Chains A and B, each alone.
Chain A
Amino acid sequence: MTRPMPRREGVAAPFWDAAERKELIYQLCTRCGTVQTYPRHRCGKCLSGDLQWRTSEGRGRIMTFTVVHRSPSPAFRTMVPYTLGLIEMEEGFRLMIPILTDSRDRVRVGGIVRVTFAVHEGMSLPEARPA
Chain B
Amino acid sequence: MPRAVISGAFDTAVGNLPGSTCMGLHLDAAAGALTDAGLETSDIDGVLCAYSMTEPHPMLASWFCEQSGISPNFCTALQSGGATACIMLMQAAALIESGQCRHVLLVTGDNRLSGMSRDGAVAALAGFGHPDFEVPFGISIPAAYAMITRAYMAAYGTTAEQLAAIAVEHRRHAARHPKAQMRESISIEDVLASRYIAEPLHLLDCCLISDGAAAVVVSRQDPGIRATRDVAILGSGQGHTHEHLIAMPRMTEFGCAKSAHTAFTRAGVTAADIDVAEIYDSFTITLLVELESMGFFKKGQAGFAAVEGQLGLEGSLPCNTHGGLLSYAHSGAAGGMFHIVEAVHQLRHEADMRQVRNARLAFIHGDGGVLSAHCSHVLEGPR
Contacts and interface: CB of A to CB of B under 8 A. Distances in A.
B137 A84 contact: yes
Contacts of B129: 72
Interface string B193-230: 00111111100000000000000000000000000000
Interface residues of A, number: 35
A66 B154 contact: no
19 contacts: A6-B133, A7-B131, A64-B154, A65-B147, A65-B150, A66-B149, A66-B198, A66-B200, A68-B198, A70-B122, A73-B119, A73-B123, A73-B126, A84-B138, A84-B143, A96-B246, A98-B137, A110-B154, A125-B137
Contact of B199 (A4, A67, A73, A76): A67
Q: Which 5 A-B pairs have the closest CB atoms?
A: A72-B140, A66-B146, A64-B151, A109-B154, A6-B132
Given A69-B195, A96-B245, A76 B138 contact: yes
Contacts of B251: 63-64, 86
Which of A67, A79, A86 has the largest number of chain B CB atoms within 10 A? Answer: A86
Contacts of A73: 119, 122-123, 126
Interface residues of B, number: 36
Nearest to B250: A63
A119 interface: no
Contacts of B142: 70
A100 interface: no
A74 interface: yes
A94 B150 contact: no
A110 B154 CA distance: 9
Which of A6, A12, A44, A69 has the largest number of chain B CB atoms within 10 A? Answer: A69
Given A4-B135, A82-B138, A84-B139, A72 B122 contact: yes
